[in-house]
Structure 1
């Protein structure tokens, strides 16, 4: 009887060890590592400023010149863009208002010194032309403009179109395109 009891105990111990070992192996196999990868997007634009420099060498009052300024998005995330146009004469006292800039005021809005494109661009997207023509007003230009050089400096910036980035950084409300007071 003792031998039978001993065999029963050894069998029970073997069964407990087998169940415990199988459970341990099952839990060990469940510990495989998992890697979650998050990749950030990018904001990238190309500023296009197209005009014929040779054609604009001997400007006279009344002349009109084609000058196309627009932006394309090259980045992977939706992007808002803004463009700043800074006209200037190389001589003191000359008025930049004698030069008319033909601008798209339907899709673009001026807030402060910047023109904001009112739609977010997707990758490969393109704005309309902000600037299309430059016209020199013949009636307003006198001899003081002779040998003067007129330039338009063009700058462009872009920002992600999500998470209120334009509101935070540019201080503009993109819902109604108004300035946000500081």
Structure 2
């Protein structure tokens, strides 16, 4: 099958967390979709149910943020969702080089806990969960380097038109370990959805590193002979 016939799509939804003065923080809800367009074949929409109340958010508190992907196209699709966490200044500008050295992907992951609808998903890199499986791609090799953490997850069944995936996220938590480095910062948590046709081995375009995911997708969408 020629590459020009392999259709993929990207969409995203984001929520921004603002860390206020002292050790308090507040959530500001946002549901922004980007690069969401109709191909006539495969089309998705990242959706979320955000239940923040804009109250002060203390380390140790969590806010419900359910995120999922809907197939709004006309064809069956395979779905990948990437969670991105970026730390910015309070006014939304990039961190200084000095602060960027503090907010490494490892530091962000240590202090921001993403709680999944599939409880054991984070540590099950090679064993299928009921709905999603994490990839094993290098999550640190991303643009802007230090202030950007990203992790991919794959939906384990093909998604029919007008159907939703099972939710990926359930909550976002600022851990008790968060200290004054987080004061005056905004934390952007974005779910970026990608979809590709569920036929003729099109998923190989994603270059999936998790062999368990590849095996499942190869069964769903074998190569055309």
Over 3 Å counting, the alpha-carbon distance change for 1:99 and 1:56 in structure 2 is farther
Tell me, yes or no, if the aligned pair for 1:79 and 1:120 is still in contact at 8 Å: yes
In structure 2, the residue matched to 1:12 is none
TM-score by length of 1: 0.67
In structure 2, the residue matched to 1:30 is none
In structure 1, the residue matched to 2:36 is none
Over 3 Å counting, the alpha-carbon distance change for 1:144 and 1:173 in structure 2 is closer
Aligned equivalents of 1:173 and 1:43: distance in 2? Answer: 23
In structure 2, the residue matched to 1:46 is 45
- Consecutive unaligned residues of structure 1, counting only runs of 5 or more, are 1-39
Alignment of 1:51-130 (within 5 A): 51-52=50-51, 55-56=53-54, 58-90=56-88, 91=95, 92=99, 93-94=102-103, 95-97=107-109, 98-103=111-116, 104=118, 105=121, 106=129, 107-111=131-135, 112=137, 113-130=151-168
State the secondary structure of the residue aligned to 1:172. coil
Between Structure 1 and Structure 2, the one with more helix by share is 1
Given the alignment, which residue of 174, 184, 203 partners 1:166? 203
Aligned equivalents of 2:200 and 2:157: distance in 1? Answer: 15
Moved over 6 A (4+): none
Tell me, yes or no, if the aligned pair for 1:75 and 1:123 is still in contact at 8 Å: yes
In structure 1, the residue matched to 2:181 is 144
Aligned equivalents of 1:122 and 1:175: distance in 2? Answer: 24
Aligned equivalents of 2:164 and 2:157: distance in 1? Answer: 10
TM-score by length of 2: 0.55
